[in-house]
Structure 1
Amino acid sequence: MSILSSPSAPVALIAGPTASGKSAIAVALAHRLAQAGRRGVVINADSAQVYADLRVLSARPSDAEMEGVEHRLFGAWDGAEACSAAAWAARAKAEIEDCHAAGAV
């Protein structure tokens, strides 16, 4: 069964080294999901891209690169505030649950 047609609440994990094209793959997947009648949302897991103040230094995708796809947890923390793995995991879990409640992947 494919993520494009799964009736359950799937999560697609795209992992790889810095500057390997993960964001472009995520956006392409979201567009494929849209073609299949599903809504795709990108939830950030990059430890630097969570900080609002590090857009350029973290190579966070630009608005143009996001291509109209909803992105969450990008710039979600102020640079003066520490983001622990536990804090990120709690927010990511809430975002995933919110997406699933809305029928998004």
Structure 2
Amino acid sequence: GFFGGLIMWIWMSSSFAFWVSIVMYGFGNGPCVGYCYDLNNRLTVASEKGMSIVMFGLNFGASIVPYTATLLWDDTEMSYTVMPVLLTISMLFVLPFLYMTRPINDIS
């Protein structure tokens, strides 16, 4: 997924690189979403409060990124560079946050 964003940064004017990077991001980051959801379910206390926190976090994240991307795309000078920025940042943040759950989850 990270390399998809990197490819788009390197060849910004290439439509082929754009579609290759989108496919790489989909295959690289797509499974991370399900894994994060499963990990949140396992680490959260099985109660109404715990599940509401998980659902709020996941739904908020799934809503704020497209909203912010649209604002950046329409209202700033970044316009066409928004997509590679989001691809790269979303992969850079997901992996370290998942790694930080190792002590909690007792993964060896």
- TM-score relative to the length of structure 1: 0.30
Whose relative contact order is higher, 1 or 2, with alpha carbons under 8 Å and at least 6 apart?
2
The structure carrying a bigger helix percent of its residues is 2
Superposition TM-score, scaled by structure 2 size: 0.30
Look at both structures and tell me which one has the larger radius of gyration over its CA atoms. Answer: 2
